[in-house]
Homo-oligomer: A and B are copies of this chain.
Amino acid sequence: MGRQMTEMLKGTLEGIVLAILSARPAYGYEITARLREMGFSDIAEGTVYALLIRIEQRGLVDVEKHPSEKGPPRKVYSLNAQGQEYLEDFWGTWSFLAERLEQLRKGE
């Protein structure tokens, strides 16, 4: 992945994953696959799992273990109330940034 994308994902990847979870619960491997479909073709698996552990420790998601038909059991994450609130903050921050950048892009 490009250096620019790597740096830009810092902070936003977390929001992206929370947004995915706000649609419906999901587990790590599934989220990774979803990201790849979205075009984030080479986000490292390890990055996603580490992020999930982080947001779990911050209490933004609830976790349940479900057996899988194939492979080891899945850790299914779902956004809780605190996570929902945090996601709204994220959208606020994102909007602020996106507006300034659109302004900058036009302004020349």
> Which A1-55 residues sit within 8 Å CB-CB of chain B?
2, 4-12, 14-16, 19-20, 22-23, 38-40
The size class of the interface chain A forms with chain B is: 35 or more
Which residues from B are CB-within-8-Å of A14? 7
Q: Find out whether the CB atom of B104 lies under 8 angstroms from the CB atom of A19.
A: yes
Given the known interface contacts A5-B93, A23-B107, the answer about A101 and B16 at a Cβ–Cβ threshold of 8 Å is yes
Which residues from B are CB-within-8-Å of A65? none
Which residues from B are CB-within-8-Å of A94? 8, 101
Q: State how many angstroms separate the Cβ of A27 from the closest Cβ of chain B.
A: 18
Q: Find out whether the CB atom of B39 lies under 8 angstroms from the CB atom of A100.
A: yes
Which residues from B are CB-within-8-Å of A23? 107-108
- 29 CB < 8 A contacts A-B: A2-B89, A4-B11, A4-B89, A5-B93, A5-B96, A5-B97, A7-B10, A7-B14, A8-B11, A8-B97, A9-B11, A9-B97, A10-B10, A10-B11, A12-B97, A12-B101, A16-B100, A16-B101, A19-B104, A19-B105, A19-B108, A20-B104, A38-B100, A38-B103, A39-B96, A39-B100, A91-B105, A94-B101, A98-B98
